[in-house]
Amino acid sequence: MSLIVQKFGGSSVADPECIRRVAKRVAESYDKGNDMVVVVSAMGDTTDHLIELAKELNDKAPEREMDMLLATGEQQTISLLAMTLNAMGYKAVSFTGWQAGIITEAVASKAKILSIDPKRVEDALAEKKIAIVAGFQGFTAGGDITTLGRGGSDTTAVALAAALNADYCEIFTDVDGVYTTDPRVEPQAHKIDRISYDEMLELATMGAGVLHPRCVEVGKDFGTRIHVRSSFNHNEGTIVDDMGGRPMEQQMAVSGVAFDRNVAKVSIFDVPDKPGTAAHIFDTLANEHVNVDMIIQAGQRKNRNKISFTVSADDLPKAKEIMEEMKWQFHAQETSYMDKIAKVSIVGAGMITNPGVAAKMFNILAENDINIEMIATSEIKVSCAIHEEDMVQAVRALHKGFGLSEEK
3-state helix, strand, coil in the chain (%, to 5): 35, 30, 35
What's the closest the beta carbon of residue 399 comes to ligand ASP, in angstroms? 27
Which of these segments, 128-136, 151-159, 192-200, 288-296, binds Mg ion (CB under 5 A)? 151-159
**What is the SS3 string spanning 31-67?**
HCCCEEEEEECCCCCHHHHHHHHHHHHCCCCCHHHHH
Separation CA 194–CA 42 (nearest Å): 28
Closer of 147 and 181 to ligand ASP (Cβ): 147
Closer of 159 and 380 to ligand ASP (Cβ): 159
What's the closest the beta carbon of residue 246 comes to ligand ASP, in angstroms? 30
Contact flag: residue 207 with Mg ion (CB under 5 A): no
Residue from 101, 152, 237, 256 touching ligand ASP (CB under 6 A): that is 152
Scanning residues 37 to 56, which ones bind ligand ASP (CB under 6 A)?
41-42, 47
Separation CA 129–CA 37 (nearest Å): 9
Closer of 118 and 151 to Mg ion (Cβ): 151
Closer of 136 and 197 to Mg ion (Cβ): 136
Contact flag: residue 44 with Mg ion (CB under 5 A): no
Separation CA 93–CA 190 (nearest Å): 38
Contact flag: residue 9 with ligand ASP (CB under 6 A): yes
Contact flag: residue 138 with ligand ASP (CB under 6 A): no
Closer of 90 and 95 to ligand ASP (Cβ): 95
Contact flag: residue 207 with ligand ASP (CB under 6 A): no
Scanning residues 3 to 32, which ones bind Mg ion (CB under 5 A)?
9
Residues ≥6 apart with Cβ < 8 Å to 111: 104, 105, 138, 140, 146, 147, 148, 149
Closer of 97 and 135 to ligand ASP (Cβ): 135
Contact flag: residue 173 with ligand ASP (CB under 6 A): no
Q: How many residues lie near ligand ASP (CB under 6 A)?
A: 12
DSSP secondary structure letter of residue 291: P
What's the closest the beta carbon of residue 260 comes to ligand ASP, in angstroms? 16
**Degrees (nearest 5) of the Cα angle 197, 162, 222?**
45
Binder of residue 73, out of Mg ion, ligand ASP, none (CB less than 5 to 8 A by kind): ligand ASP
DSSP secondary structure letter of residue 375: E
Which strands, in side-by-side order, build the sheet including 145-147? 113-116, 102-104, 137-139, 145-147
C-alpha pair distances (Å), 358 with each of 10, 30, 255: 37, 47, 14
**Degrees (nearest 5) of the Cα angle 45, 5, 141?**
75
Chain residues binding Mg ion by CB under 5 A are 9, 151
Catalog residues that contact ligand ASP under the rule CB under 6 A.
9-10, 41-42, 47, 73, 135-136, 150-153
